Amino acid sequence: MSTTIQGGCHCGSVRYKFSVESSTLPLDADYCHCDDCRLTIGGFCGLYVEAPVATFTLTGTGALVRYNSSSRLTRTHCSKCGTSITADDNKGVKVSVIVSTFDLFSGVAYDSLVKPVYHIFVKDTWRGGVTTIIDDGLPRYKAFKQDGLWMDDAVTKSPSEEIQPTSGGEITGGCHCKGIQFTVRRAPDTWADDPVLVKWIKHGNRFSAIHCFCDTCRQVSGAPFWTWAFVPYKLITFTSNSTERIYRSSATKPCERRFCGTCGCTFSYTASPGFEMWDMSVATFDQTKVEEWLSFRPAPAGEDLADEALGSYIHGWLDSPERRPISYAVDGEKYNPTP
């Protein structure tokens, strides 16, 4: 007996399906934290399952963009909404599908389809990245499994060693293909006197940030979760945006999501055109500076709980019977949302 899994991009332009033996469910899945995944998706990692090439089919290929992220791997995304969909070896031997693009129906959860088994390419992260705050108990490998386990002994620190923000300076960011490049300036010391900056600068001249688990952020990007920093637009300078594409993801709200048309990297969200604050993807920032620039706030209690009922495929991120996600500070301090 076989089971057919279907999915596609957020706007519906690209669709796929593949069949597996029902006895193989849930399928083994892996979190990949390599720089290529981070900068083509725009999220901190991708969660993938390998689909049988013999049963895998794509439709809507007129909207499909293929991007060679390396000599051995080709990635695909939708040209209209930017959703990252697959990664393949370009030889017809192997195709990996991004789990967040799966269709879910009533009574079907991720748990019944996939089972995460390990994290790979942790060596590409800055000091372990988000693997240090996902309490899933899964092995974390430097690169592939044969390259051995990644050890986090070097990043353990006490609260007194927390990295403090500095005045001035800038942090850079961008996508994999370099079509999108930007610089974010530190707010001036007088930020409290600015009517715009005072609303968005927090925690001693840091930008607030949060992990988002909503369906739209996950399905538009392909990431298993999303991480936003709230940055006043007046502090952002784009040094390159020649490949920028805009996707309006809501039929009822004027919000805009921006992604790179070449490599597929989602990098920003705005509540409306011309809004004073842009949500910027933290994964696209210079990772060596993130701890100094951002302070993560708690997830608001009761916010979009229906969207956040993900099942346990992100183990260790859900802290209540209502399955509300936990947010963490970048330095590892845990913030518990108010019950």
Q: Which amino acid belongs to residue 111?
A: D
Name the domain boundary from 112, 127, 150: 150
Report the alpha-carbon distance of residue 34 to residue 11 in Å, rounded: 27
Using an 8 Å Cβ cutoff, are 83 and 10 in contact?
yes
Same domain for 183 and 109:
no
Q: Which of the listed residues 150, 170, 186 is the one where a domain comes to its end?
A: 150
Whether 121 and 206 map to the same domain: the answer is: no
Strand partners, 232: 277
More confident residue, 299 or 91: 91
- Residue 114 belongs to a domain: yes
- The CATH number given to whatever domain includes residue 123 is 2.170.150.70
pLDDT at 137: 84
Tens digits of per-residue pLDDT, 129-148? Answer: 888 877 778 999 999 999 99
Q: Domain of 57?
A: 2-150
Q: Does 155 map to a domain?
A: no
- N- to C-terminal Cα distance for the chain? 44
DSSP state of 298: P
- The verdict on 181 and 139 lying in the same domain is no
- Could you tell me if 300 and 329 lie in one domain? yes
Q: Pick the last residue of a domain from 111, 126, 150.
A: 150
- pLDDT score, position 225: 84
**Is residue 138 located within the same domain as residue 207?**
no
The answer to whether residue 317 is domain-embedded is yes
Total domain count, the chain = 2
Q: What is the pLDDT of residues 103-132, one digit of tens each?
A: 987 777 778 899 999 999 999 999 888 888
Instruction: Inform me whether the pLDDT recorded for 323 exceeds 60.
Output: no
Q: Tokens 């002994």 map to which residue?
A: 153
CB 326 within 8 A of CB 335: yes
Residues 295 and 212 both lie in one domain: yes
Q: pLDDT for 175-217, tens place per residue?
A: 999 999 999 999 999 999 999 998 888 767 889 888 877 778 8
- For residue 93, how many other CB atoms are within 10 A of its CB? 8
pLDDT per residue over 253-278, tens digit each?
899 999 999 999 999 999 889 999 99
Residue given tokens 């033996």 in the structure block = 21
Give pTM, 2 decimals. 0.85
